[in-house]
Every structure is written in structure tokens, then in C-alpha cells.
Amino acid sequence: MINTLQLDVHASGVAVITINRPDSRNALDLKSMRAFAGAVEVVSADTRLRALIVTGAGDQAFCAGADLAEMDQHPTAENGAAMIALMGDALLTLEQLPIPVIAAINGYALGGGAELAVACDLRVVDANVQMGFVHAKRGVIPGWGGGQRLLRLIGYARAMEILLTARTLTADDPDLQQIVMRPIAPQGQAFDAAMAVAESIAELDPAVTASMKAMLRAGLPPSAFDYERSLFPPLWAGEARRAATRAFLERSKGNSQ
């Protein structure tokens, strides 16, 4: 792995993927996206594992999605299609792992970070959680499969409202509580709570765990991920996305001074 993404395996059989870019709220640049995809493939090939935790370094953010400063250097529809294929495929592989996958979410999970969260089987959050499908504010739609997964979790009307308003869900929001595990962990302690869950899962017969996940996934509706992906590239190349990114980067520059 690279220093911005780490894969660790505990003696209990629990693997941990950590996005290690805390200075950028663990936003993923292209190098980290490729490393993430590689880490998921490594986990997929390791039959000794019993559970996987995905988390972000520090206690302020899980993942703020794609690194917009870097992404702004790749503005074409073809660039957008390549980026969402990279992460979209990685999250499909993550979702299809035979072991349970737990997102340990401290603080921010925004844009692609929210998409990563809902690609996991379970979500453990801390009291400071701020999960936002903020794509509309950035001139795009979910491109990593998050729209379809949000629909499955909370239904059409609630998913539509969350996506169109691009509002951020906090710990006391009923919509957030519908998609995360309870009780909510104290601030900064989502990882410890997730590890406790993962270690309890690791004690189960792995055949039972794998069969339980396969049984539930068999009941999911047919995938619309390809259609979601097809809608993303022209929006990525559009002026609304470029203007939103410029505004975001200007705000970020001002906050750093």
C-alpha cells in the first residue's frame, strides 16, 4: 500500500482499510483511489479474513469523497468516466465480498465518502457524524453507485429528497438513523465501536456469515449501476460542475489563510 492508504490485518481475522489523508478530510486523489481498489482486491483474495472495516485517519473525517483540487485537473467527460469506473468497480467488489464490511465513520462522510459508506454492509458513526450526498451542490450526481444504494436503503421518496436538497445528515437525523448502527458512538470512537462489532462477527462460523450475506444480497433488485454511470460523464464536463468546483476551491483557499 501507499502512505495515503493502509491495509492492516488483525490477529482476529479483521482487516482494516484506512484512508490516510487527514489534512484533506481523507479525500481520495487518484493514487489513493487506485490503492483503495488494490486493497479491496487483496482482501477479496484472502480467505482467512472474517470481516473488513473501512475508515479514515483521525477523528474528524471518514472520507470527503474525491479530491476536488486534483479532480479539477481532469475536466473532460472521458476523465469523469474513467474516475467513476475506477471507484465504481472498486465499490462493487467491496459490496460483493463474502465477508461483512463495516464503515467506521468519525465526522465527515461527504460526496463520494457517503457513497463509500453506503457500499459497506454496516455503518458505525460517531456523535459528530456529518454524512452528505452533496453532489447536486457540486454540479454532478452520484457516480460510484451511491444513488442506487441510497435508494435501496431508504426508498425512492427519501432518497430523492436527500439527493435534491444535498443536505447533510447529522446524528439526530431520522434518515441517518435509518441507515446506521445504533447506539451512535461517542465523538471520535467510531473505529473502536466498529472493531467490537467486527470481532464479534469474526467469532461466528465463517460459512454462516458468508451464507447470511449471500442470502440477503440475493433479494436485492437488479442493478442499475451502469445507467447511473452513463449519466455522470456529461455532467462532469459541464459548466455547472466546473463552476461549483472553482467556488469550492476558492472557499477552501480562503479558509486555509
Q: Is the dihedral of CA 5, 115, 250, 127 positive or negative?
A: negative
What confidence category does residue 251 fall into, taking pLDDT thresholds of 50, 70 and 90?
confident
pLDDT at residue 247, rounded to an integer: 92
Q: Which residues, in sequence order, are CB contacts of 129 under 8 Å at separation 6+? A: 105, 106, 107, 109, 169, 170, 171, 176, 180, 184, 190
Structure confidence by residue, pLDDT tens digits, 121-147: 999 999 999 999 999 999 999 999 999
Q: 201 in a domain, yes or no? A: no
pLDDT at residue 76, rounded to an integer: 96
How many CA atoms within 13 Å lie on the side-chain side of 132?
17
User: Whole-angstrom Cα distance, residue 215 to residue 146?
Assistant: 22
Q: 115 in a domain, yes or no? A: yes
Structure confidence by residue, pLDDT tens digits, 158-174: 999 999 999 999 999 99
Structure confidence by residue, pLDDT tens digits, 27-36: 999 999 999 9
What letter represents residue 35's amino acid?
Answer: A
Q: 257 in a domain, yes or no? A: no
Domain count, the chain: 1
**Cβ–Cβ under 8 Å, residues 106 and 188:** yes
In the predicted model, is pLDDT for residue 236 greater than 80? Answer: yes
Q: What is the mean pLDDT of residues 195-222?
A: 93
**Cβ–Cβ under 8 Å, residues 68 and 207:** no
Q: Report percent pLDDT > 90 for the chain.
A: 91
CATH of the domain at 124: 3.90.226.10
More confident residue, 257 or 219: 219
pLDDT at residue 28, rounded to an integer: 98
Structure confidence by residue, pLDDT tens digits, 48-100: 999 999 999 999 999 999 999 999 899 999 999 999 999 999 999 999 999 99
Q: 220 in a domain, yes or no? A: no
Q: What is the mean pLDDT of residues 101-123?
A: 98
What letter represents residue 246's amino acid?
Answer: R
User: Whole-angstrom Cα distance, residue 65 to residue 160?
Assistant: 20
pLDDT at residue 257, rounded to an integer: 46
Quick one: cell of 244? 461549483
pLDDT at residue 216, rounded to an integer: 93
Q: 214 in a domain, yes or no? A: no
Q: 21 in a domain, yes or no? A: yes
What confidence category does residue 253 fall into, taking pLDDT thresholds of 50, 70 and 90?
confident
pTM of the model: 0.95
Full residue range of the structural domain in which residue 158 is found: 5-191+225-246
**Cβ–Cβ under 8 Å, residues 83 and 31:** no
In the predicted model, is pLDDT for residue 221 greater than 80? Answer: no
Q: Which residues, in sequence order, are CB contacts of 245 under 8 Å at separation 6+? A: 68, 71, 72, 138, 139
Q: Among 23-27, 44-48, 85-89, 251-255, which stretch is predicted with the lowest mean pLDDT?
A: 251-255
In the predicted model, is pLDDT for residue 233 greater than 90? Answer: yes
In the predicted model, is pLDDT for residue 256 greater than 70? Answer: no
